[in-house]
Structure 1
Amino acid sequence: MIAQTTVDDESKAYELAQAAVTARLAAGAHVDARMTSFYWWQGEVRHTREYRVSYQTAADVLDRLAEWVHAHHPYEVPQWIVLPDLPASAAYRDWTRTETRGGA
């Protein structure tokens, strides 16, 4: 499973990525290069420079990861997008399951 959020602070993006992996809620996480996001907020169109954090996780851990991200995220309404569970190699699926279960 791949789940994504965005945040406007590079240090916070690194923190959200590393802490979720350390907590074994994700087997891995990517912090993408800075991008510009345009969106509606409080009745007007705004734009912000943000970083996307993509988490690689197992399906049975996804709800705990979502709860954790929302509890640690600085935004009032953080982006939370879960990409469809598309086919992946058996080795990759096994890796994400193993690493989100304590490496066992």
Structure 2
Amino acid sequence: MPTQYQITLCTCPDKNTAEKIAHLLVDDKLAACVNILPGITSVYRWQEQTESAQEYLLLIKANKNSYQAIEMTIKKHHPYELPEIIAVPVESGLPEYLHWIDSCHS
């Protein structure tokens, strides 16, 4: 059964970028909640090199109908040439919490 909820993951290079994007998404009613997880280490391939960076991870909880607007907002305000934007479906959740996500949607 398809779900109407998703969590979008996005890494940011610093706290200011993470907070700015989180506030834009919540203030514009694109996301009900954005958690900012500090102190993650990302190891990745970029331009044929193995890189490592300290980043902040955004966990963006939203209705999947907001995905395109979330993606556009992140791309507009993110400093990376290729930001991580990955959405995963929410298979189940506390019904009251899922209804709350709906109530925050524009």
Unaligned runs of 5+ in 1: none
Corresponding residue of 1:99: 104
Corresponding residue of 1:32: 37
Corresponding residue of 1:69: 74
Structure 1 segments of 4 or more deviating over 2 A?
none
TM-score (norm 2): 0.89
Alignment of 1:7-18 (within 5 A): 7-18=12-23
- Per-residue CA deviations over 1:21-77 (Å, capped at 9, x if unaligned) read 011110110000211111111110011100001111011112211121112111110
Corresponding residue of 1:49: 54
Unaligned runs of 5+ in 2: 1-5
TM-score (norm 1): 0.90
C-alpha separation in 2, matches of 1:63 and 1:91: 25
Aligned residues: 101
Corresponding residue of 2:64: 59
Corresponding residue of 2:3: none
Q: Structure 1 residue 94: deviation in Å? A: 1.1
Q: Structure 1 residue 10: deviation in Å? A: 1.1
